Amino acid sequence: MKIKHTILLVAFILCAGILKAQQPENILAAVGTPPNPKVQVSWNRYNDHAAITDICKKLAAAHPNLVKLESMGKSFKGKELWVMTITDSKVGSGDKKPAMYIDGNIHSNEIQGSEFALYTAWYLAEMYASGNKAIMSLLADKTFYIAPTINPDARDNFIHQANTAHSPRTGLIPIDNDRDGTTNEDGFDDLDNDGQIVMMRRKSVTGRYKVDPTDNRRMILVSGEEKGEYELLGSEGIDNDGDGFVNEDGEGAYDPNRDWGWNWQPNYIQGGAYKYPFSIPENRAIVDFVMKHPNIAAAQSYHNNGGMILRGPGALEDLDTYNALDIRVYDALGKKGEEMLPGYKYLVVYKDLYSVFGGELDWFYGGRGIYTFSNELWTGYSMYNKTDGEDSQTQLYTFDKDLLMKDAFVDWHPFKHPTYGDIEIGGFKKTYTRLHPGFLLESDAHRNMAFSVYHAYNTPKLSVGEIEVKDIGGLTQVTAIINNERMIPTHSSQDVKNNIETPDIISLTGGTVVAGMIVTNRDMNFTVEQNRDPANIKVQNIPGNSFVTVRWLVKGGSKFTVNVSSKKGGLASKSN
């Protein structure tokens, strides 16, 4: 018993030493990092919906003046669709500030989008709490709406069930893919119960594959008259429904990124489309949230993979929607993104990838006039920081061996298959090829966070500049300049063209307004009068990095106040 007590005492002393080493006074914070975060999160792993919920709730509890947590609605299976509102609530109401909307994980196997969105929320809150002036200024001016996962049902399926890196890509509403009258009866089968769905191979005299002599994990296609040793049989599985096919009818088959009400097409034209636009409950909840928050001026959706900063249009048929003025804004943001995200390329969906009808990206811009990017996270460039062969199969094997200690591969091992007989099972785990290895996850999360912050920073920032008051004989002429100090206008050209959002209102108080006008050329005294409600001048747009000039003719008064109200530009006020 004495020995046992001694061991416990030693353990206590060691633990006490460890705890002391973790105290703030014992830590030298790296630059650009919260020095002593209230919410401790490890950013080298992936979180299921329960863990995401826990992190969101902890952030809201630890930073009540910054983070508000609410649910946009429920998923098909009843999970909460969490969204965090992040802003300095002591400096104005969040719904009156220009806002950035961020979501991730619309495709269920593209899970790191949730970690990137969560990291953004965590970083903003913790850096504000640490006294970082740049973040404090940002959250005084802007609002962030961050929805970590918008496909939580299938996310949990990917994390907790045996899957490949590519399944399930979709949601979990049951669909009969093979049209045999039943759903979900022939999905993947974890034959050896190791939690991984990898590949099946068997020896065959007619096989077209052989083992790579430089790496016995890899199968390579033979050429010419060379004889192969193996045939590949696809992913692990059996023919559950006896129709002669394996793995063709898993859980869900609709694509939630083909469900949006902009250039939507039915399934026979756009594979993956569901019943009608916004027929998927998760997307319907997002649309309702966005419509209730007209202050959203910028948006970011996180996908994987390939290292891309994508903008629309998704299809050639929609090319005219993206006009030159808006493309200038997109180009400026996208090119900056290429600098901030090594290995990423700024691309256009339809031109550089493929056609997408009914995509989230296009609805946000086309339907709401919001400047929106979709980042395809993870690029092979990050493996060795070089572009040569960045997507090659060879690099996947060497990187796993050199830097991951072969943790990404399930070694080939024998199995008796009920249909194929003696086979071998092996291959890359589901957490490789599309997803970040742990040690690279936080680095890329930080860079993508910074790009989103840059985007949000460049949403409109309005101020009232010069106010000129001039006596013109019986009346007072008040002229005011309204500045937009950022790149993004208060209304995109798509917004102006389609009258999506209400005009900006520039108001004057302090006297009886008898006339109000927009000044189109101050030097030449050219104006356009607004005949109705002259005290509240309606302006279609305040351009980015520019200004508008307005004027009133007023009876009485000498002290005037100019107020500006813009849905996407926020509020501004000044008195003479």
- Residues marked active site are found at 376
For tokens 């609605």, the residue is: 73
Cα-flanking dihedrals φ and ψ of residue 297, to 5°?
A: -110, -15
The residues, any chain, with a CB within 8 Å of residue 172's CB and separated by 6 or more, are 76, 77, 153, 154, 157, 251, 252
Cα-flanking dihedrals φ and ψ of residue 360, to 5°?
A: -60, -40
Q: Are 517 and 533 in contact (CB under 8 A)?
A: no
d(C-alpha 37, C-alpha 125), whole Å: 9
Q: Residue 449, SS3?
A: helix
Q: Residue 121, SS3?
A: helix
The residues, any chain, with a CB within 8 Å of residue 420's CB and separated by 6 or more, are 200, 202, 233
Element (H, E) at 466: strand 462-471
Nearest to 567 by CA among 458, 456, 459: 459
d(C-alpha 372, C-alpha 299), whole Å: 5
Mark out the alpha helices in 186-312 (DSSP H runs): 281-291
Range list of β-strands (E), 255-322: 296-304, 308-311
Q: Give the chain's radius of gyration (CA, Å).
A: 29
The amino acid that residue 352 corresponds to is D
In this structure, what DSSP letter does residue 523 have? T
d(C-alpha 132, C-alpha 294), whole Å: 29
The amino acid that residue 318 corresponds to is D
Query: Taking every pair of C-alpha atoms in the chain, what is the biggest distance, in angstroms?
Result: 103
